[in-house]
C-alpha cells in the first residue's frame, strides 16, 4: 500500500555539528531508489509500506550500529489508491493559493 513518510533521524551525543551523520543517513535513503525529498528538518520518502519502513530502519541503524544514540521522528500518510503524494499534495495547495511558492521567500 502506498505510503508517504516524513522522517527525521538524528544522532545524539556526537557534538553540535550533525552534518556528517545526517549525510550517512541520507546516503542510505538515496541508495534505496525510492522517491524522496529532503528539507532542513525532515526527509519525505514515498513507496510501499514495507519498503519505506525498511529504508527508515536501515537509515536509523547506520548510526545505531556505530553505537550512536539515535532519535527517530516519523509521520506516515497511508492513503490507498493514491501515488505521487509527495508532489501532488503540495501542487494542490499551491494551485488554490495562486501558485505562490513559499520556498522562494528570503529570510
Total domains in the fold of the chain: 1
Mutual angle of helices 49-64 and 19-31, in 10-degree steps: 150
Q: What is the pTM of this model?
A: 0.84
Q: What does the pLDDT look like over 38-60, one tens digit per residue?
A: 999 999 999 999 999 999 999 99
Q: Residue 8: its pLDDT value, please?
A: 97
Range of the domain at 15: 2-98
> Which are the contacts of 78, defined by CB distance < 8 A and separation ≥ 6?
1, 2, 3, 49
12 φ, ψ to 5°?
Answer: -125, 145
Domain holding 31: CATH number?
3.30.70.930
Give 74's contacts (C-beta < 8 A, 6+ positions apart).
5, 6, 7, 8, 56
State which residues of the chain have pLDDT below 70: 99-107
CB-CB contact of 18 with 78 (8 Å) = no
Amino acid at each position: 500500500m502506498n505510503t508517504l513518510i516524513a522522517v527525521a533521524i538524528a544522532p545524539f551525543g556526537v557534538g553540535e555539528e550533525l552534518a556528517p551523520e545526517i549525510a550517512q543517513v541520507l546516503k542510505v535513503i538515496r541508495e534505496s531508489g525510492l522517491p524522496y525529498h529532503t528539507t532542513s528538518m525532515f526527509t519525505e520518502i514515498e513507496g510501499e509500506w514495507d519498503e519505506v519502513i525498511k529504508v527508515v530502519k536501515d537509515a536509523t541503524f547506520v548510526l545505531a550500529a556505530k553505537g550512536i544514540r539515535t532519535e527517530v521522528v516519523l509521520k506516515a500518510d497511508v492513503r490507498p489508491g493514491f501515488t505521487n503524494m509527495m508532489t501532488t499534495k503540495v501542487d494542490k495547495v499551491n494551485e488554490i493559493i495562486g501558485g505562490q511558492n513559499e520556498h522562494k521567500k528570503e529570510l
